[in-house]
Structure 1
Amino acid sequence: MSTPFDAPDWRGMSQQDRDSGLNNGAAVAGSGDIVAGWNRLSQELRARHSDHLDLRYGPRERNRIDFLKAAGKAPTLVFIHGGYWQMRAKEDFSVFAGGPMAHGINVALIGYTLAPEATLDEIVAEINAGIDFLAGQLPALGGDAGRIAVSGWSAGGHLTAMALSHPKVGGGIAISGIYDLEPIRHSYLNLKLGLDEAMSHRNSPMMQAAGPMKPLSLVVGGAELPLLRKQTADFACQRAKYGRPVAYEEIPGADHFSVMNELASPTGRITMLIRQLFERIPG
């Protein structure tokens, strides 16, 4: 496990290079069309599983959860969407429930208030409140309240790492996440996030001495931006250093968007990692 050889230190980069080094949409040709395709497929899946949509867990408009039921008394994967904490919505990502659901795993997609309407402190608190709510509702929904794992992509990967400390969460799979927020604080992305140094540090998993003793798989595309690959590799190394259960994996040839094909597919690599994760979470 090592830092990618082509990953620069963000501190030595110009503002322009740092901004472009974090801009996934610009780095992948046709990314807008890709996301539009996700939206169409997500609408179709939501229409087929419409019994438990928009369950409200808090007072704000986006404080809602879509519970997509695959089987009774089954484990539940909480999925947290990406968009650099300031774009997109849970409804755009339902398509990625298809892979786990094919194996009898329920999927709960959690919404949260976006920046700048919410600070990152508030967003992290909302995710924890949503998991509290879901754990309490799972018996009535037909799920196993004792078997909850969390996953997310991009900003959702960061929120996955933060949610790993929740007492009801047994493990996680973070995809293409951000684990040190300092590069974000010094980039164009901070215009809406409004991070100061203290908020950045307390919400950066890399800034925590060790982290929870729970299994965490860290996945990134082999063709992603070097700064993203470095974030994942560095965080995996830190968890290993402190003896925390961790697995690091690059999906060969995958970019920031195509990496999600490995979750949408029932035979995808990330879907397989989720199955293996639930085998490690006792019922």
Structure 2
Amino acid sequence: MLDPIRDWDDAFANSAHIPGSETLPAQWAMAAATFRDSGVRIERDLPYAAAPRARYDLVWPEGTPRGLAVFVHGGYWLQTEKSDWTHLAAGAVAAGWAVCLPGYTLAPQARINEITSQVGAAISAAALRVDGPIRLAGHSAGGHLATRMICADSPLSSRVLDRVAHVIAISGLFDLRPLLRTAMNDRLCLDQAEAVAESPALLAPARAIPMTCWVGGGERPEFLRQSRLMAAIWDGLDVPTTLHIDDDHNHFSVIAGLDDPDSALVRCWLTTDH
């Protein structure tokens, strides 16, 4: 039996439980800049709406893309930006996929439901540029946003949804109600109604699009619980759903494999079709 969670701020405090995490943002920024400077073809800051952060980057492979891979960044809807994560497109690009990295307005300037709509608009814009299947991925809050794209109230049109072949939510957040008990909600501004309406685990799937909940075995217990919850509920709703607990990776090391086309994470993202 799992121990009950009494301190919800601590339950979501990833950095506080990962030694050396204070150095990671600089490492990510350097890796992203190095990849951008490597000669890869990238179109940056393509607008999909009027808001200043309503821009996406599109990284192209050599030759005709096999399809569109989308990576939605995390940061609790409050921090980081698409340019911090460009290097995580490397694995999919090397495997022949065009990669979209959506930016979005951060809370509290936007509510989470507005961020969901923005990510849908970014994916829709990129889908007009790239033919073929669409494979979505997101990390942490980005895992939430990627999964929201395949809920019954998806912001994606039926035409775009028809192209979505797989969603992989890495360390995702699927039940937002516990966030109502955290200090970060002073900036997220969630109320009970929005927390329910934006929780994929409480929503019906749009259709039976294969989904993977991928989480590190060394993560905070709440992230393991959330992935197990999501996988169990949507499996019961006849969605081809897989739960993968990735060794003892923590909340940040779990995404490291995205820069390697031969990693298990990238292979799962780009080839899983159940």
Asked if Structure 1 and Structure 2 have the same fold, meaning a TM-score greater than 0.5 normalized by the shorter chain, the answer is yes
Pick the aligned partner of 1:221 from 216, 219, 225. Answer: 216
2:168 aligned partner: 173
Q: Assess if the C-alpha contact under 8 Å between 2:143 and 2:171 holds in 1.
A: yes
- Residue pair 1:100, 1:106 contacting (<8 A) in 2 also: yes
Residue in 1 that maps onto 2:21: 31
Partners of 1:111 and 1:210 in 2: CA distance = 24
2:59 aligned with 1:60, yes or no? no
The 8 Å contact of residues 135 and 270 in structure 2, kept in 1 or not, is answered as no
Q: How big is the shift at 1:98?
A: 1.1
Query: 1:51: how far off?
Result: 4.0
The alignment partner of 1:183 has SS state of helix
Q: Which moved more, 1:240-249 or 1:264-273?
A: 264-273
Query: Alignment partner for residue 153 of structure 1, among 124, 130, 139?
Result: 139
* Corresponding residue to 1:195 among 190, 193, 205: 190
CA distance in 2, matches of 1:107, 1:209: 27
Residue type at the aligned position of 1:156: G
Q: Is the 8 A contact 2:100 2:123 kept in 1?
A: no
AA aligned opposite 2:19: A
Q: Does 1:267 align with 2:241?
A: no
1:122 is aligned, of 98, 114, 117, to: 114
Q: CA deviation at 1:243?
A: 1.1
Is 2:82 the partner of 1:90?
yes
Tell me, yes or no, if the aligned pair for 1:263 and 1:269 is still in contact at 8 Å. no
Amino acid aligned to 1:45:
F
- Partner Cα separation in structure 2 for residue 177 and residue 120 of structure 1: 15
Q: C-alpha offsets along residues 202-252 of structure 1, whole Å, 9 cap, x if unaligned?
A: 100011144531011110000000001000001000011111111110110
Q: Which runs of 5+ in 1 are unaligned?
A: 139-143
Which residue is 1:100 aligned to?
A: 92
Q: Secondary structure at the match of 2:215?
A: strand
* Per-residue CA distance 1:144-203 (angstroms, 9 max, x = gap): 2x3111111000000011012433141211100100000112111211100001111110
C-alpha displacement of 1:50:
5.0
User: How many matched pairs?
Assistant: 263
Please give the alpha-carbon distance, in whole angstroms, between the structure 1 residues aligned to 2:205 and 2:173: 17
AA of the residue aligned to 1:80: V
Q: Which runs of 5+ in 2 are unaligned?
A: none
SS in structure 2 at match of 1:219 = strand
- How far the C-alpha of 1:32 sits from its partner, in A, is 2.4
Work out the percentage of aligned pairs sharing the same amino acid. 32
User: In the alignment, residue 183 of structure 1 is paired with which amino acid?
Assistant: P
Give the partner amino acid of 1:56.
P
TM-score (normalizing by structure 1): 0.88
CA contact (8 A) 1:65 1:110 kept: yes
SS of equivalent residue, structure 2 residue 179: helix
* Higher alpha-carbon deviation: 117-126 or 100-109: 100-109
Residues 124-139 of structure 1 mapped to structure 2, 5 A cutoff: 124-138=116-130
Normalising by the residue count of structure 2, what TM-score does the alignment of the two structures yield?
Answer: 0.91
CA contact (8 A) 2:65 2:98 kept: no
* Larger CA deviation: 73-82 vs 113-122: 73-82
- 1:22 equivalent in structure 2: 12
CA distance in 2, matches of 1:23, 1:211: 32
Partner SS for 2:133: strand
